[in-house]
Amino acid sequence: GENVEQHPSTLSVQEGDSAVIKCTYSDSASNYFPWYKQELGKRPQLIIDIRSNVGEKKDQRIAVTLNKTAKHFSLHITETQPEDSAVYFCAANKGGSGNTGKLIFGQGTTLQVKP
Amino acid sequence: EAQVTQNPRYLITVTGKKLTVTCSQNMNHEYMSWYRQDPGLGLRQIYYSMNVEVTDKGDVPEGYKVSRKEKRNFPLILESPSPNQTSLYFCASSLGVGELFFGEGSRLTVL
């Protein structure tokens, strides 16, 4: 079945450094790739997403890149701040004729930004 | 305010005692789904619904039931809960392929 692999599972960086989280997916028909941030005790919330018709999208300190040929996409956070500390999930949609919004999530990355 | 509301937020129950976790959204979304979150396993989909009276199994449906009689509601039913269903549950909704809006979560403990 469809699968999304996410690495690393934990990531610790110094404040001001960059952080990169990578995901690979198996469904070649996937065309929507969101990233969610979950702070401790809170619900996951969308921080950025990308569709397959673009290769990169940026929103202030956050960017996502997509390589459809290799079936992988990455989240880049620059100038990290302590409030970026959270669990980050990547996801890919189930594509093709069964594409109705079903998302498959990666296992999550716990990011710690040290002051 | 656009939101997904689930209840109860916290529940401790015993093995075999049927329970229902309710979920309601006020955004007129067609798509609704249930996830469970366990340490190291991420968010795993239990069931999803593409519209009223249309539901389908996700990745971990065993031991759960759902119904979608109205567009706004998507309850999760545990007919005979077992300890391995102790988890954090999230309901979510979206308008087709796009942002998934999550409820605040329901932490369930089955003794």
In terms of Cβ atoms closer than 10 Å to its own Cβ (0-12, 13-18, 19+), residue B69 is exposed
Output the pLDDT for position B95.
Answer: 87
User: Given an 8 Å threshold on Cβ–Cβ distance, is A102 in contact with B41?
Assistant: no
Question: What is the nearest CA distance from A80 to chain B, expressed in angstroms?
Answer: 23
CA distance A13 to A108: 17
Output the pLDDT for position A95.
Answer: 73
Output the pLDDT for position A52.
Answer: 83
Query: Is A66 in contact with A33 (CB distance < 8 Å)?
Result: yes
In terms of Cα–Cα distance, which of A3, A2, A11, A6 is closest to A77?
A: A11
Query: Is A85 in contact with A73 (CB distance < 8 Å)?
Result: no
CA distance B84 to B50: 27
Give me the total of CB pairs closer than 8 Å, taking one residue from chain A and one from chain B. 63
Q: Is a pLDDT exceeding 90 seen at residue B76?
A: yes
Report which DSSP code applies to B85.
Answer: G
Output the pLDDT for position B1.
Answer: 81
Query: Is A43 in contact with B105 (CB distance < 8 Å)?
Result: yes
User: Given an 8 Å threshold on Cβ–Cβ distance, is B97 in contact with A106?
Assistant: no
Report which DSSP code applies to B69.
Answer: S
Instruction: Map tokens 């939101």 to a residue.
Output: B3
Q: Is B74 on the interface with A (CB under 8 A)?
A: no
Output the pLDDT for position A50.
Answer: 94
User: Given an 8 Å threshold on Cβ–Cβ distance, is A105 in contact with B97?
Assistant: no
Q: Is a pLDDT exceeding 80 seen at residue A100?
A: no
CA triple B57-B53-B16, angle to 5 deg: 55
A81 pLDDT band, cuts 50/70/90, is very high
- Other Cβ atoms closer than 10 A to B88: 16
Query: Is B58 in contact with B45 (CB distance < 8 Å)?
Result: yes
Question: What is the nearest CA distance from B32 to chain A, expressed in angstroms?
Answer: 9
Q: Is a pLDDT exceeding 90 seen at residue B2?
A: no
Name which of B48, B90, B97 is nearest A32 (Cβ-Cβ). B97
User: Given an 8 Å threshold on Cβ–Cβ distance, is A45 in contact with B102?
Assistant: yes
Phi, then psi, of A84 in degrees rounded to 5: -80, -10
pLDDT digit string, tens, across residues B13-36: 999 999 999 999 999 999 999 999
In terms of Cα–Cα distance, which of A112, A50, A49, A60 is closest to A86?
A: A112
Query: Is B18 in contact with B77 (CB distance < 8 Å)?
Result: yes
Phi, then psi, of A33 in degrees rounded to 5: -135, 95
A80 pLDDT band, cuts 50/70/90, is very high
- Other Cβ atoms closer than 10 A to A63: 17
Query: Is B74 in contact with A14 (CB distance < 8 Å)?
Result: no
Pairing of strands A4-7, A45-51: unpaired
pLDDT digit string, tens, across residues B92-105: 999 878 889 999 99
Q: What is the mean pLDDT of chain A?
A: 92
